[in-house]
Amino acid sequence: MKTIGIVGCGTIGTFLAKRINKDFKLLARLAGLCDIDEEKAKVLSKKLSKKIPILSLDQLIEKSDLIIEAASSSISCNICKKALTKGKDVMVMSIGGLIKDYKSLFSLAEKKKATIILPSGAICGLDGLKSAKLANVRKVTLTTRKPPKGLKGAPYIIEKDIDIDAITGEQVIFEGTAEDAVKAFPKNINVSALLSIAGIGAKKTRVKIVTSPEYMVNMHELEVEGDFGRLVSRTENVPSPTNPKTSFLAPLSALATLKQILNPSQKIGT
């Protein structure tokens, strides 16, 4: 029986807590919940069939075999460090927060015989990129299309004084490296961080962000070129009802990854 602690009781944390209780009754147990806004943790705890304790981050790490981070890119690196230092496995959703330090976190995980788990989240094609990376990969490009409300409040939008509600047609909002995209849109662009880590790094991975009031879904188009040939994937994501910035595929991907961890007797795909 694996004990699981969840940090961040919003859209992803709530979805996972409910499904862990329902789908993995015999394989896992929720050890605790943690949120910077304790009220959110209380609300989630009440929604679950069994009362789950609300803990501080340190207590949660102590009581869990696996910590799931579903909080914010401002804290994900710190959560990783703390969990790995205690030899605990950690699944990270706010991957943008790892972009600077992932190599040292990977070394720490190895030293402590623990595992960092980065689910594919809202993008498809990571399986191909991982395989392609075993030979030469020349180019990785991500084009993200989101409705204006999904980009609202991002540091780049505020800094450049972009009136997102005034946009009438299709408009390219940002073009640059994944390294810059993560800083400019920290709540939107976890997929570009993940692609950078899995592929050719944040300085070489190119990102384009496009918006239009006509867009109904969060769309990610991935293009990879290398010795293997060329890969193009397009994921048309339905936004989560409680957070338009988060695609529904993201919590589903975390759940699928969890299923793989808890039941390792089958492994399908790369």
Ligand X SMILES: NC(=O)c1ccc[n+]([C@@H]2O[C@H](COP(=O)([O-])OP(=O)(O)OC[C@H]3O[C@@H](n4cnc5c(N)ncnc54)[C@H](O)[C@@H]3O)[C@@H](O)[C@H]2O)c1
**Matching residue, tokens 């981050």:** 57
Bridge partners (DSSP) listed for residue 141: 206, 223
Pick the stretch among 90-98, 103-111, 207-215, 227-235 that binds ligand X (CB under 6 A): 90-98
Contact criterion met (CB below 8 Å) for 203 and 167: no
Nearer to ligand X, 71 or 105 (CB): 71
Residues 32-51, mask of contacts with ligand X (x by CB under 6 A): --xxxx--x-----------
Q: For ligand X, give the closer residue by CB, 211 or 247.
A: 247
Q: Which of 220, 224, 235, 237 is catalytic?
A: 220
Residues 181 and 209: beta-carbon distance below 8 Å:
yes
Q: Provide the β-strand partners of residue 6.
A: 33, 68
The only residue of 4, 5, 10, 64 in contact with ligand X, by rule CB under 6 A: 10
| Cβ closest to ligand X, residue 101 vs residue 228 | 101
233, burial (CB in 10 Å: exposed 0-12, middle 13-18, buried 19+): middle
Q: Which of 101, 94, 123 is nearest to 13 (CA)?
A: 94
Euclidean distance between CA atoms 45 and 197, whole angstroms:
34
258 in catalytic set: no
Binding mask 124-153 for ligand X (x = CB under 6 A): ------------------------------
Interface residue with ligand X among 114, 122, 162, 224 (CB under 6 A) is 122
Q: How far apart are CA 127 and CA 269, in angstroms?
A: 7
Instruction: For the segment 169-198, give every residue that binds ligand X (CB under 6 A).
Output: 187, 190-191
- By CB under 6 A, name the binding residues for ligand X: 7-13, 34-37, 40, 70-73, 75, 93-95, 121-122, 187, 190-191, 243, 246-247, 250
